[in-house]
Structure 1
């Protein structure tokens, strides 16, 4: 809550760019209540795979044989899969060991009438991977609900350990429908008009940089970003930023509210 006037004014004079799509309004409202000027520029668009048949094909593969482990990575993804596939899928997965990456994924699992065996305390994919490897996956069939990022390293680790991995992508990422706001945000960063950029997903971070590269602004953007507070909601989201060699900060918990609070604290300190 931001009822205290001092909290409302804490980001007065600061400009924050928001690249999220699904959580843009939520993040923008939280920042605006703290006095920030908010520039919106969605860096990607979510396309549900039921629209082009890929999810149905993946579901048929899952149903073709018994499943030993099910990995729910995101709440919205797992929920969307169950809604699209129906009761047959739930019944087929009922005998499997279900692992959830975090609280939202666990909620989606329980909402489907299933029960998780374990949930990652850190809500990080790497911890889920390590848990599965510790349990032993040799000869096991593992269904992995992925989240836009195909999670190739995760899958390779399980495959190398002897598992059969069946990836299920419920949605994929594309460029935003309207590129103009994203281009305007990139230009604003290059012009030195943006103080902070919070990122809530790896695809958004990836495409923010990639869009600049495709429009011959990549070098200028990366130079400007070294003077901008880049805040990533968690290590997965931070991976493309770290790969680009850009300084960034992460909140203690992978939550939107914690991310906004971190931006508030860091900008206030500056």
Structure 2
């Protein structure tokens, strides 16, 4: 009797997620191969202090966090007294979160019931809030790569939106990234978990560097490709790759569970 091969799963999340992601992959019967295609770096722009002041002063009616990272990188920049005042003020503000991970991060700091739009996307937030934001002030803390549709949409609904970029994303360069592309081309990777558009771009950039921009698309068509959220699925499509799996719940575990089922 031949021994059943453990499927190899490519995990490309930032370094800080490595341990947790590999543990989830193993729990679902995958052998993880890890090569980060995104690096997170803290950022502080000129909008940050005014954003914090508006929350503490109570002049922001709404505060939007589009990721758990947005919360972490915001709090990292605050001194202890300001952090306490900021969290206390958030409790009295209407706080909006995209997705369950962002919600969990808010609950962790004592924001009991943040509002989650039914559709975990910028469009979903605009749709959910449009009827109530006219004349209101919205504070938004997110990455430097956030979609413009969120600000433009809320402004069209009559809101005044102030944005601050609290972190940025870059594509790491190194041997592990190169090795993942080589293993992919050799047909050694059975499944790929893409958790953001930037990750897709990073992966494709590394493939192109090896002159395999086209070949990699064919290789991926023979594997199970998973994406968190429609925007990530759309980015894959733009690069000529179809996502086999987009789970209803926007979490890494839900993605891995759905990919296991697909296999």
User: Shared topology, TM-score over 0.5?
Assistant: yes
1:26 aligns with 2:26: no
Q: RMSD of the TM alignment (CA)?
A: 2.7
Match of 2:35 in 1: 41
Match of 1:4 in 2: none
1:266 aligns with 2:262: yes
Offset at residue 46 of structure 1 (A): 0.9
Offset at residue 115 of structure 1 (A): 5.3
Offset at residue 184 of structure 1 (A): 1.1
1:230 aligns with 2:225: yes
Match of 2:74 in 1: 81
Which sits farther off after the overlay, 189-198 or 86-95?
A: 86-95
**Partner Cα distance (2:6, 2:188) in 1:** 11
1:221 aligns with 2:216: yes
**Partner Cα distance (2:260, 2:200) in 1:** 20
Q: 2:49 aligns with which of 36, 50, 60?
A: 60
Offset at residue 149 of structure 1 (A): 2.9
Match of 1:164 in 2: 160
Contact 2:171 2:202 in 1 (8 A): yes
**Partner Cα distance (2:115, 2:27) in 1:** 37
Contact 1:70 1:98 in 2 (8 A): yes
Q: 2:198 aligns with which of 199, 203, 206?
A: 203
Contact 2:101 2:251 in 1 (8 A): no
Match of 1:109 in 2: 106
Offset at residue 133 of structure 1 (A): 1.3
Q: What runs of 5+ residues in structure 2 fail to find an aligned partner?
A: none
**Partner Cα distance (1:63, 1:33) in 2:** 40
Contact 1:72 1:109 in 2 (8 A): no
Offset at residue 70 of structure 1 (A): 0.8
Do the aligned partners of residues 212 and 71 (structure 1) sit closer, same or farther apart at CA in structure 2, a change above 3 Å counting?
same
Match of 1:99 in 2: 96
Offset at residue 58 of structure 1 (A): 2.3
Contact 1:74 1:101 in 2 (8 A): yes
Number of matched pairs: 251
Do the aligned partners of residues 120 and 188 (structure 1) sit closer, same or farther apart at CA in structure 2, a change above 3 Å counting?
same
**Partner Cα distance (1:79, 1:18) in 2:** 22
Match of 1:71 in 2: 64
Contact 1:82 1:90 in 2 (8 A): no
Do the aligned partners of residues 204 and 115 (structure 1) sit closer, same or farther apart at CA in structure 2, a change above 3 Å counting?
same
Match of 1:127 in 2: 124
Q: Structure 2 length as normaliser, TM-score? A: 0.82
